[in-house]
Each structure stands twice: as C-alpha cells, then as structure tokens.
Amino acid sequence: MVSRRQFIGAGAALAGVAAWSKTSAMGLPEAPIMETAATQPPLMPTAGPDYNPVVTLNGWSLPFRMNNGVKEFHLVAEPVEREMGEGMTAYLWGYNGQAPGPTIECVEGDRVRIFVSNKLREHTTVHWHGVILPCGMDGVTGLTQPGIPPGKTFVYEFDAVKSGTFMYHPHGDEMVQMAMGMMGMFIIHPKDPAFMPVDRDFVFMLSAYDIDPGAYLPKVMEMTDFNLWAINARVFPDVAPLVAATGDRVRVRVGNLTMTNHPIHMHGYDFEVTCTDGGWVKPEARWPEVSIDIPVGAMRAYEFDAVYPGDWALHCHKSHHTMNAMGHDIPTPMNANKARVAAKIRQIQPDYMPMGETGMAEMAEMAMPLPDNTIPMMAGWGQFGSLEMGGMFTVMKVRDGLAADDYADPGDYEFPAGTVAYEWTGSLPEAPAAPAGSADGAALPHTPSARRVMPAGGDHSGH
Ligand SMILES: [Cu+2]
C-alpha cells in the first residue's frame, strides 16, 4: 500500500502541476506516486463492493477515491527512473513514478472515471486493452480521440461490465512509448467475491528493453534483439519471489507487451489456464499445463493449489530470456585453448580475460569489473551456489505456516533431510525402504500432508 508519506510526497513531486494534487469533490483526484520498485502489499478495498485484491510483483495498485458513486483514478504519464535491478537504473516513460504503471483494480458493475494527465513532451493516449467499453473510450489516437497534448488531462469514463484481467498502454506513437515502458495491468474483479476465489492473486507484465551496458535509455527502434527481458521491468536476481503458504489456492496473471511470445514455465506443479484477456475459462474447457505460452499482446492466468513446499523456479523457457545484457554475435568458444592468444591480446589490453572455454557457467562466478549501470549477464546465488540466470526468472516460494498477509521473502527453502540430489560415492546411504504403495504413486516421497484434491473427473495417477 502507498504509505501516508508517499501519498503526501506525491504533492511535492508534482509541484509543477500543483493543481493535480489538490483533492476536492470538484477537482482532480490526487495522483499518488510510488518511489520504489519493491512489491507492495495488496491494496485492500476502501469503498464500493468487496473484492480480493491482487499483488503486483515489483509493483503496486493505484488508490482511488469515490465521487458520487464513481471510482476515480488519476494516472500521470511521465518520464520515470526505474531500478531494473541493483546497480542498474533505466530512464523510462511510465505512470505515477514507475514503469510499468500501477495496477488499476475495480469491480464488475463499477462506474470508473480515469483522469490521464500527460507530462511527456509529446501526445499520448491510454488504450484499455481487452476492456469492454464505448468506442470513444478506447484510446486510439486519431481513430477514437485526438492525442492528449503535453500538459493536458483527458477523462476516460466507462462501466466495468465484465470481470477479468486486462492491460493498459498508449495507442499513439506506440512503438516508442511502449518501448519506453508505458504499460500497466487492469484488473476487473468479479461482482461476486465467491466466484473463483483464491488466497493469493499475483500479477505481472512481461516487457523487454534494449539498453546498452552502461547506458540508461532503451533503444526504441529495436525490433528483435533485446538484451533485458523483464518481469515487471525487473530482471533476475532482483525480481521479487512469489510467496505462498502451503495449501493456498494461487492465481498468477501474466501480461505480455514484448515483441515476442514467452513460454512461462513453473516447476513443481501442473496447473490450468483459468483466464485470458477474453475472459474466464470454463472449468470443462481447461487442460493441464506446466508451461504456458503467453502470446504478444495477450494475458494468461493460471491457478494451482500450493501443496508442495519448496523453492520452485518460475521462468520464461526461451533460454536467452533468462540472461541479462549480453552480445549474441560472438563465436562459440568451447574447446578452444586461448592461452596463447590471450597473452598476445593482453599486450594491448592488459585486463583481457578469455572466457567460455568449458562452457559459459564460469561467467556467473567471474568477478569482472562491469561498466556503471550494468547487471551481470547471469547471476543470483542460492544456498547451493550460483544460479547462472538473469532476465525473466523468479521463484515461487511455498512454505508451511505463513500468515495470510505475509508476502515477505521467506529466504532459502529448508530441504527435509534426505530429499536433495547428492553425489554417488560408490554406495547408497542407509535409507528407508520405498513406502508401501509407492509403485502406483500413492505415497510420493515429497507428497505433503495436505493432499491435493483433484476436481471431479480428474484421473491422475501420481500427481
Ligand atoms: Cu521469453
């Protein structure tokens, strides 16, 4: 939640447009800003119908006010500084202090009014991707409205007629404005809080940037060769983990506004797609997956019962998308003995270091001096060493006994004794015999006490 201090701070940050921060029934709603890329706790409903709020990974939800029964929000399109990871900040364009912009949450049946102020130096609009609304509120520059000129505020107003997961982004100079990071998620909760309830509801956007090592601005003309593949404009190891308590029903909603598709893979579970931008998927139409391809310009939500504790990797399965900034146009160095050529190169570049002779894993452990404002190509340390990952990678952390409102990183998973892969040294340790019935999967070694409940009709031997 936006702290009181940050809420007050919004006035100071928007001093140049002080009128925007004055709250009155007749004036514009306050435009709160967020100063940090840290995941904020769910923003509990303050008015209107009840709902179960989402948690935006490395993001936040935009507070609203009620005005005569209408939910009013205030988005400010503006240049922002976004910390994509420790030691690397990008100069992006976003909304209310961050890119992506805040998640907007409302409820089916709400009347919403969204004020959009433009602090960019060129016009912009906001398109409400997937939301059913009057054509004139669709936010397409030239087609449904003129662009919002710099310094001006436009009003979008519509009824939230259908619940689901949607997005928002500009629809004017779109290539530049989206490459600069302008996007956000738009959640319309079901009118009935008992419809498809979950205990934890995570949401994040996939976005990609081409920012040279040491640079701050994305190259907005890039079409395919991006070097920072991000989860809510953060890259591993600085993407927040998704934290759940054992037994929770968990929903993960992913929006993709990059230039390519991303097969999002989560370890340890199978799950079902329960929502697309088009709406909820009926139970009889769902099928199980362990990877979900998220098309460009689309959203997918999946759900599962978090019955298996652990630290489960969650990542894009395109392996180049789990790397940070790197060059792609270099020869494969494996098997080359570069000792002699390295000695010659050092005569002209003393700190030259040959790399990749056995593979590329050695890159992750190298303490190479990096240019300012750069993140290593692969990084992240777990309790067993380097993960050799970057980009679109994070961890689903499932733990026993977490409080319902506890989203803090619980640290490394404590593996039960005898459950970690180990080196064979010529004989097996004393181990209990396989449990009775294990052949048919009735007692898998890692099956927790909270046994997964399969829906009627589910025929799953094992899990
Ligand atoms: Cu990917």
Cα 222 to ligand 1 centre (Å):
16
Count the neighbouring beta carbons within 10 Å of the beta carbon of residue 235.
Answer: 27
Backbone angles phi, psi at 200, to 5 degrees: -135, 135
Cα 353 to ligand 1 centre (Å):
30
> Which of the four pLDDT bands, split at 50, 70 and 90, describes residue 439?
low
Please give the model's pTM, rounded to 2 decimal places. Answer: 0.84
- Which of 159, 175, 196 terminates a domain? The answer is 196
Question: Is there a single domain that holds both residue 189 and residue 332?
Answer: no
Would 279 be classed as within a structural domain?
no
Would 224 be classed as within a structural domain?
no
Cα 265 to ligand 1 centre (Å):
10
pLDDT at residue 435 tops 70: no
Domain count, the chain: 2
- Which of 161, 196, 231 terminates a domain? The answer is 196
Domain of 95, in residue numbers = 4-196
Cα 186 to ligand 1 centre (Å):
22
Would 439 be classed as within a structural domain?
no
With contact defined as beta carbons under 8 Å apart, do 322 and 316 qualify?
yes
Question: Is there a single domain that holds both residue 33 and residue 177?
Answer: yes
Domain with residue 76: its CATH number is: 2.60.40.420
Cα 261 to ligand 1 centre (Å):
6
| Digit-coded pLDDT (tens) for 307-350 | 999 999 999 998 888 887 766 666 666 667 777 777 788 888 77
Cα 300 to ligand 1 centre (Å):
14
pLDDT at residue 149 tops 90: yes
Cα 384 to ligand 1 centre (Å):
25
Candidates 240, 180, 235, 169; CA nearest to 210 is: 180
- Which of 163, 196, 229 terminates a domain? The answer is 196
Cα 263 to ligand 1 centre (Å):
6
Cα 84 to ligand 1 centre (Å):
17
Cα 272 to ligand 1 centre (Å):
20
What's residue 225's pLDDT?
Answer: 83
pLDDT at residue 5 tops 60: no
Query: How far lies 208's CA from each of 172, 224, 225, 261, in Å?
Result: 19, 10, 10, 11
Contacts of 41 (CB under 8 A, 6+ apart): 1, 55, 405, 407
Cα 314 to ligand 1 centre (Å):
12
Cα 88 to ligand 1 centre (Å):
21
Cα 181 to ligand 1 centre (Å):
17
